[in-house]
Amino acid sequence: MVQQAKIGKYARSVSIIGIGATPFCNIDNDPELQGLTEGEFFGYAALQAMADCGLEPRDLDYFYHGAANPKFFNFAATPNMQVAEWFGMRGKGSVHHSEACCSGYVALELAVMDVASGVHDFVLTGCAEMANGLPVPGKPAHIRDPLTFDRLLPDLEAIMDRAYTRMLGAGHIGQDDWIDWYKTTYKLTDEQVDEVLNTMSYHGRRAAALNPLAMLRTPFEEMAKAVGIDDPMEYLRSKYNPKTTHYLRGTGNAPGADGAVAVIVCPTEIAKKYCKHPIEVLGIGASCVELMRPHNEMEVTREAARQAYEQTGLKPEDIDLLLVNDFVLPSQLCAAEEVGYLPRGEGWKMVLEGRTAFDGDKPINPHGGRTSFGHSFGVSGLADVYEAVLQLRGEAGPRQVKNNPKTAMLRGFGGGQNARVEILRRVD
């Protein structure tokens, strides 16, 4: 059993007042961004977040820097100090942290706890990851080799306890684990699961096509027509979208992305001086278990959500918008039910009805989700925060969800398995 710690309320309320983000991309294929380093990417997002709330670097008290694995991806042992030059915070206090693909969610948690404690008033927290390449020894940081799976695999093995020489993939960590449990529990067929996952892919791409920061923006209608298929769903079921596991197809796997996101927080009591609609961080639940536990993602999601609801006094019916770390695509459905946003055993029907699309009544991942927006490892959690803030402000443009959301929940995880459930609310 996961230990259930009693979490008290924050000493003072904290709100998000500024956000900034780079596009999620393969930097080597982007002529406008090619040649930038991780420090420049972090600075790009940080300066944008400052401009969003009218602050200057001198106004900030402290900053946090997150990345999934800075030594592997950027050959940087102290990246917080190495990026500070790029956005005017030389000499300011800072901390680096690494929590695999949960880093972006922890980034918000650290900044909120800092300001809630009263230590600082204006804190910037950000993450940057150059996830499509690896540093070249002895060369400047902008020169990189393409990342290949055979080079990534040893790094992935570092997220598990190897005390008893267990190898990655030797236990209950497969991408199919949760959806296989779901299929068996609710008696779906393989064909129904396939249709549900393809439908999530389809609506994710519809949203990403409207998102200027998304990595994959070509609608499936265009991709289908290019190979002589009229129906995009037929394309998603075809040989052009082959299965990579028992359930997942190619479009259900998240592409690695280069990216950076930054967020600025301050006490809610002064937030409206800097932002028309501050976004208050109401509560954050946290849970971690070792990677080899059966159904580990389910367990940590349940516990982190319990904490978040207990802290805030909210119920699932109070949540207007859900963002889910779905680099394993079935997480979008399974986590939505685990946190109570969708009814147990019924969510798959709502997916097929289009209700979880960005223009449905139970929107999930209106930025496109990991499989279309892209997955920049440690950065992706803050990309969810960025999208939630846009949606709660009503500033998401053509992909703005239709239910005038006031309260959003984010469910993130990474590593093995480190989860956060964060609840945000617009301050009117």
Those residues of the chain that have pLDDT short of 70 are: 1-8, 153, 162-174
CB 159 within 8 A of CB 167: no
User: What was the pLDDT predicted at 181?
Assistant: 95
pTM of structure: 0.94
User: What was the pLDDT predicted at 294?
Assistant: 77
User: What was the pLDDT predicted at 364?
Assistant: 98
CB 127 within 8 A of CB 261: yes
How many Å apart are CA 2 and CA 254, to the nearest integer? 29
User: What was the pLDDT predicted at 5?
Assistant: 39
User: What was the pLDDT predicted at 166?
Assistant: 59
* pLDDT, tens digit, 9 for 90 and up, residues 19-71: 999 999 999 888 888 889 889 999 999 999 999 999 999 999 999 999 998 87
User: What was the pLDDT predicted at 81?
Assistant: 87
User: What was the pLDDT predicted at 70?
Assistant: 83
User: Alpha-carbon torsion 20, 24, 29, 34, what sign?
Assistant: positive
Q: Would strands 62-66 and 123-130 be described as parallel, antiparallel, or unpaired?
A: parallel
Q: Residue 192 corresponds to which tokens in the numbers above?
A: 């129904």
- Say whether 49 sits in a helix, a strand or coil: helix
CB 388 within 8 A of CB 407: no
User: What was the pLDDT predicted at 4?
Assistant: 41
User: What was the pLDDT predicted at 164?
Assistant: 63
| Cα separations in angstroms, 404 against 315, 393, 408 | 18, 9, 11
